[in-house]
Structure 1
Amino acid sequence: MNARNEAAFAAVDASIAAALAYRPPVRAQSAPPGPTFPPLDDMPKASKDQPKPDRVMLVSAASLTPVPVAWLWKYWLARKKLHILAGAPGQGKTTIAIDMAATVSSGGRWPDGTSCSIGNVLIWSGEDDPSDTLNPRLSAAGADLTRCHFIIGTERSNGETVPFDPSLHLDGLRAVVEDLGGVSLLIVDPVVSAVTGDSHKNTEVRRALQPLVDLASEFDCAIVGITHFSKGGQGGDPSQRVVGSVAFTAVARVVMVAAKVKGNGGEDRRVLARSKSNIGPDDGGFEYRLEQIENADGIHASRIAWGQAVAGTARDLLTDPNEDDAEDNPESSALDDASEFLVELLSGGPSPTKYVETEAKAAGLAWRTVRRASEVLEIKKRKLEGVWYWMRPNLSNQLVHVVQSQNLGQVGQVGQVDAQDALEDAQGAQLSKQGILGTFGASSEESTKPATSPKEAF
């Protein structure tokens, strides 16, 4: 091999060696892309006009000083709390609340004999007229009318009057309360009127009642919301019979129930009982009765006459063995309710037809049913000085006390059964001669209808 070939092979060997020794460069793995932040100098500065985020407020339990419940009526009405007063129609719930208002406004005494400090009262009613119903009841209960005020609406800045809504008009109410110098009691009748949504939905009821709870705390007053019982559930927990969502009784700190039940001797009696209390005893109650009076202006009104205290739970006190039978026969139950209503209403004497009709409506009774009950009870209807009156047969002579001093003449010898009717006929004849008593009839409206039975002739 000559020198030339050797040089060629050496060059090849060097190329091969270089190729074998070559290693490609290792490419470094790039990190996953991260968030991109703008330079600090380019970040927008916080504006003074931007609202600050909401901040949750805390209070340490160690910093709180325990305080007792401030009672307006011990164990029944507490300041800063919401209360519910429930019952079936015709039990006098509004009249009971009016009696509470009278006690607060006049600094009177509660049914247990304890005294009450004087305070102002606000009444928000969507069912009864203040002029012809609530104000006469306040007077009958002995209220200080200068301390009782009715919420009749809200006046907007443009002069428009709209219904009062505690969730919207709290600021306006706050101003009014400050002008009054504070309030001790607020009555909401019915409490469901404070709920703008579905009164059977727990969330909506709680949301609607919260402004009332806040109002009670801010004004240092007791709030009483009035509501009805739902049908059914007799013999169970009365709190569970409150109409609507369970939130009504859950939010309230005290639940009171009013009902008429049978006593041990079979007599009717009315009871106001505590059905629930988160801040005191949840049992016991007081008997009461509804009385009807006539003031100096001839205006009739009902009031509460309190009886003795009773012991026991609301469930025990308000259990009526006849309620199950009433559920089985609702038509008979309605007639019985109307009959009991009339007996109670007219027990104190004659009542104007308009007043009977107003009270029946407030009790949730159909006027047709009330008229049927009046026929069963043989209620007398008579006209005196242009006004029609209803009266029980054995009390009808009270209507003619204006002519008691005059001789009614001899009634004559009549049978014992017809004696009362004969006396009434004689009295009616005497009044007719004097132009005081008009033609018998059910009412000014009913007198135009033909009588289909002897009872309807009255």
Structure 2
Amino acid sequence: MARDLGTKGGYVTAYLNDVDFDALAEVNERAKLAKDLRIARQEFHADHPPAKAQVMLTRASDIVAEPIVWLWPGWLPAGKLSILAGSPGTGKTTLALSMASIVTTGGAWPDGAVFREPGNVLMWSSEDDPADTLVPRLMAAGADRDRFYFVDQVTDMDGELLPFDPALHIDLLAARLEAIGGVRLLIIDPLVSAISGDAHRVNDVRRNLQSIVDLAARHRCAVLGISHFAKGTKGSSPAERVVGSGAFVALARMVMVAGKDEAAERRILARAKSNIAPDDGGMAYAIEMLSMDGLEASKVTWGELIEGSAREILGEVEQDDEERSGQDEAEEFLASLLSSGPVRTREIKSDADGAGYNWKMMQRAGSRLKVEKRKLGMKEGWEWALPKGTAPEVDTKNPELYTVSPSGSNVPFRNHAGFQGGDFGNSPEGDIGKGVDSSEKSGDGGEI
């Protein structure tokens, strides 16, 4: 052992002479400090656990309930996205401008509801020129043009003018809404232009439309997006006919559809989908051309209220010539059948089946002829009769006969009693008794 140390002693001495003990002490001090810091960190986290991602909850009792605010009650909600869709030539943009004119001036909506708080309207359109098309239509509709703004261009950070793109510039538009104030309605024509990706992909549509939905809610501003029907969808559910992904309809709280009877120049506006109001019923309208100081412009003239679902209302005006001819024949058949007096619906159905007419055609024919639908008794079924003045009104065989007039109000047939709801059994008229409270008088009689 001593011999080994003696032999190597010179090397050890030389090695130790080269060691920097001050630097070594500093390294040891740093190591000790790092250890102390590590221990301190562990102790801190033991007393202060790190924040974790979590779902935030809001108690229902902490939310203040609010009523839906409407610009047009039952049709155009404030703070929501609505869609107006239809085939080319139905006058969708003219319809939107007709609504906008009421928003800028106040006054009565087509169904008689009164709008008392006029406000500003913004519109972005990529399809029509403001100077020769949109402004003349506003003039024809009687709009307050001082309250109507067209979205035109945007400026970048360098002050350069760029075209407005609803898929990119919604945040900038929101800032302008805030600056103007009092904006009650924003029209986007067409709505599909707000999608930067594929309008048929759900994720792309939801991502882009969400900013518009948020804008509407934040500013209590109604947003009306104009859209088209997809090709080859005639006869299907109206809401499903809106072009693009189903996310358009899913995000909209109201979907209105416009249709046109090419032969009769009759047009309709109907509610195809609503999450916050009835989703049936419609309005008839016509498009008129006006001449004003050398300007030509289209204008909406509103007509009567229409009952029925959007599918039924659209189906009525979208029939082709062959369908229309068949319906006309069905109407003549029913008029002939009822010409001698009231006929039970079971007999009508049987005769119609034999003649090749389905019950839906008979219902449409009855609606056109304004037939009166009469309950014979709780278990006796129904009879149809032509309106007053075209057929005998008194049925001496059935003294308890009741009449439900085409207008929907209760009309006494003999004993001045109203129609009472009840169980009508399995009749060919369909489920007319479902949902009718026997304690109430019905104002409709059901779709029979």
TM-score band by shorter chain is: 0.5 to 0.7
The alpha-carbon distance between structure 1 residues 37 and 103, as it changes in their structure 2 partners (threshold 3 A), is: farther
Q: 1:267 is paired with a residue of what secondary structure? A: coil
Deviations 1:138-194 (A, max 9, x none): 111000000000001211121122233445434422332222123100000000000
Q: 1:284 is paired with a residue of what secondary structure? A: strand
Judge conservation of contact 2:272–2:279 (CA < 8 Å) in 1. yes
Tell me how far apart the structure 1 counterparts of residues 93 and 229 of structure 2 sit (CA, whole Å). Answer: 14
The alpha-carbon distance between structure 1 residues 110 and 239, as it changes in their structure 2 partners (threshold 3 A), is: same
Q: Which residue of the partner structure matches residue 85 of structure 1?
A: 84
Letter of the structure 1 residue corresponding to residue 84 of structure 2: L
What does 1:331-410 align with in structure 2 at a 5 Å threshold?
none
The alpha-carbon distance between structure 1 residues 63 and 301, as it changes in their structure 2 partners (threshold 3 A), is: same
Judge conservation of contact 2:120–2:148 (CA < 8 Å) in 1. yes
Q: 2:255 is paired with a residue of what secondary structure? A: strand
What does 1:161-172 align with in structure 2 at a 5 Å threshold?
161-166=161-166, 168-172=168-172
Considering only CA atoms, is the larger Rg found in Structure 1 or Structure 2? 1
Q: Which residue of the partner structure matches residue 136 of structure 2?
A: 136
Q: Which residue of the partner structure matches residue 259 of structure 2?
A: 259
Residue ranges of structure 1 left out of the alignment (5+ in a row): 1-35, 47-51, 328-458
Question: Is 1:307–2:303 an aligned residue pair?
Answer: yes
The alpha-carbon distance between structure 1 residues 41 and 246, as it changes in their structure 2 partners (threshold 3 A), is: same
Judge conservation of contact 2:260–2:317 (CA < 8 Å) in 1. no
Question: Is 1:285–2:301 an aligned residue pair?
Answer: no
Tell me how far apart the structure 2 counterparts of residues 197 and 42 of structure 1 sit (CA, whole Å). Answer: 48
Q: Which residue of the partner structure matches residue 451 of structure 1?
A: none
> Aligned Cα RMSD in Å?
2.7
Q: Which residue of the partner structure matches residue 448 of structure 1?
A: none
Deviation at 1:324, TM superposition (A): 6.0
Tell me how far apart the structure 2 counterparts of residues 211 and 189 of structure 1 sit (CA, whole Å). Answer: 17
Tell me how far apart the structure 2 counterparts of residues 72 and 158 of structure 1 sit (CA, whole Å). Answer: 39
The alpha-carbon distance between structure 1 residues 55 and 287, as it changes in their structure 2 partners (threshold 3 A), is: same
Deviation at 1:85, TM superposition (A): 0.3
Letter of the structure 2 residue corresponding to residue 278 of structure 1: N
Q: Which residue of the partner structure matches residue 19 of structure 1?
A: none
Judge conservation of contact 2:259–2:317 (CA < 8 Å) in 1. no
Tell me how far apart the structure 2 counterparts of residues 276 and 261 of structure 1 sit (CA, whole Å). Answer: 22
Letter of the structure 2 residue corresponding to residue 251 of structure 1: L
Tell me how far apart the structure 2 counterparts of residues 252 and 57 of structure 1 sit (CA, whole Å). Answer: 26
Higher relative contact order (CA 8 A, sep 6+): 1
Letter of the structure 2 residue corresponding to residue 154 of structure 1: V
Tell me how far apart the structure 1 counterparts of residues 187 and 64 of structure 2 sit (CA, whole Å). Answer: 30
Tell me how far apart the structure 2 counterparts of residues 85 and 248 of structure 1 sit (CA, whole Å). Answer: 11
Tell me how far apart the structure 2 counterparts of residues 255 and 42 of structure 1 sit (CA, whole Å). Answer: 59
Judge conservation of contact 2:79–2:216 (CA < 8 Å) in 1. yes
Deviations 1:262-301 (A, max 9, x none): 7xxx7341000000100000000100000111112x1111
Letter of the structure 1 residue corresponding to residue 108 of structure 2: R
Letter of the structure 1 residue corresponding to residue 122 of structure 2: L
Judge conservation of contact 1:102–1:108 (CA < 8 Å) in 2. no
Deviations 1:283-321 (A, max 9, x none): 00100000111112x111101000011110010001048
Judge conservation of contact 1:273–1:284 (CA < 8 Å) in 2. yes
The alpha-carbon distance between structure 1 residues 158 and 232, as it changes in their structure 2 partners (threshold 3 A), is: same
Residue ranges of structure 2 left out of the alignment (5+ in a row): 1-34, 46-50, 324-448
Of Structure 1 and Structure 2, the greater strand share is in: 2
Judge conservation of contact 1:93–1:258 (CA < 8 Å) in 2. yes
Q: Which residue of the partner structure matches residue 193 of structure 1?
A: 193
What does 1:119-268 align with in structure 2 at a 5 Å threshold?
119-166=119-166, 168-261=168-261, 267-268=264-265
Judge conservation of contact 1:188–1:224 (CA < 8 Å) in 2. yes
Tell me how far apart the structure 1 counterparts of residues 137 and 270 of structure 2 sit (CA, whole Å). Answer: 22
Q: How many pairs are equivalent?
A: 283
Q: Which residue of the partner structure matches residue 268 of structure 2?
A: 271
Judge conservation of contact 1:124–1:187 (CA < 8 Å) in 2. yes
**TM-score, structure 2 as length reference:** 0.59
Tell me how far apart the structure 2 counterparts of residues 214 and 326 of structure 1 sit (CA, whole Å). Answer: 47
Deviation at 1:206, TM superposition (A): 0.9
Deviations 1:102-131 (A, max 9, x none): 010011221011121201000011111111
Deviations 1:178-215 (A, max 9, x none): 22123100000000000000000011111110011000
Q: 1:143 is paired with a residue of what secondary structure? A: coil
Deviations 1:66-114 (A, max 9, x none): 2110011001000110001000001000000010110100112210111
Deviations 1:411-445 (A, max 9, x none): xxxxxxxxxxxxxxxxxxxxxxxxxxxxxxxxxxx
Tell me how far apart the structure 1 counterparts of residues 168 and 322 of structure 2 sit (CA, whole Å). Answer: 43
Q: Which residue of the partner structure matches residue 426 of structure 1?
A: none
Letter of the structure 1 residue corresponding to residue 71 of structure 2: L
The alpha-carbon distance between structure 1 residues 168 and 233, as it changes in their structure 2 partners (threshold 3 A), is: closer
Q: Which residue of the partner structure matches residue 111 of structure 2?
A: 112
Q: Which residue of the partner structure matches residue 98 of structure 1?
A: 97
The alpha-carbon distance between structure 1 residues 256 and 230, as it changes in their structure 2 partners (threshold 3 A), is: same
The alpha-carbon distance between structure 1 residues 208 and 171, as it changes in their structure 2 partners (threshold 3 A), is: closer
Q: 1:244 is paired with a residue of what secondary structure? A: coil
